[in-house]
Structure 1
Amino acid sequence: MAELQSLDPSTPLFAQFTQDTGPIVLANTFVVPPERTEAFLVLFRRQAEFMQAQPGFISLQMHKGAAGSRLLMNIAVWESTGALAAAFGSPEFQRLAAEFPDDIVSYPHIFERIDA
């Protein structure tokens, strides 16, 4: 299973699930060894198909870091933290997440849109 890390240690992902808000954006940055990128994307696509079928899912985009970066970033929009938490906590999602190799690190964080 990929290692989950917090971008902001004062608000880990599971603490973010406790705030009922929406719509929200999940930005999940993955550090992937170059030799695992294609295999990672195959697993990610299977996971994305599951998430796209869940209540409250709005959209998803995957991005790759430029200039040979090892980073991949998933940007997913959900109706609410509750919808994301329900999908994330489902046994099927957890089974899919367990398939990711241990040498992949994931930095998920939930964001709310603000006017700039």
Structure 2
Amino acid sequence: MSLIQPLDPDFPIERQIGLEVSPVVLINIFKLDKADEESFVKAWQDDADFMKRQPGFISTQLHRAIGDSPTYLNYAVWESVTDFRAAFTHPDFLAKHSAYPSSAVCTPHLFQKVGVPGICVA
């Protein structure tokens, strides 16, 4: 992968994975050249296959922007930051980054559910 950009430069993924929070949702936005979509999806599929075999993984879903925008969003649920960190920093996962097209820029960020009375639960 050519570049990882933080969603929040003051609190990038490298700082987030140092916290102890459970459960968490990874939101990762990918921007790439339209010509690289097929190779991107193959690389993401390989990553997702690795991740789903890791302890604490719950689920993932890839979304594509509508229309002509070659922008993708990955939504992945993990039991804890501890589990995500172990998978995200695993040497086998890190080695997979080179399979992504050079045009791919990703923006990973971890989130926690928020409870809003009468609307949603945490």
Q: 2:39·2:100 contact (CA, 8 Å) conserved in 1?
A: no
- Which blocks of at least 5 consecutive residues in structure 1 are unaligned? none
**Residues 70-100 of structure 1: CA distance to partner in whole angstroms, max 9, x if unpaired?**
2100000000011011001111101112221
Percent identity, aligned pairs only? 36
Give the structure-2-normalised TM-score.
0.92
| Structure 1: distance between partners of 2:8 and 2:25 | 16
Q: Deviations over 1:42-83 (max 9, x none)?
A: 111011100000000000000000121121000000000110
For 1:39-78, list aligned pairs within 5 A. 39-78=39-78
**Contact 2:31–2:72 at 8 Å: present in 1 too?**
yes
- Aligned pairs, how many? 116
- Write the letter of the residue equivalent to 1:57: F
Distance in 1 between the 2:12 and 2:78 partners? 18
TM-score by length of 1: 0.96
TM-align CA RMSD:
0.9
How much has 1:9 moved relative to structure 2?
0.7
**Matched residue type, 2:97:** A
Q: Give yes or no for the alignment of 1:107 onto 2:110.
A: no
Structure 2 gaps, min length 5: 117-122
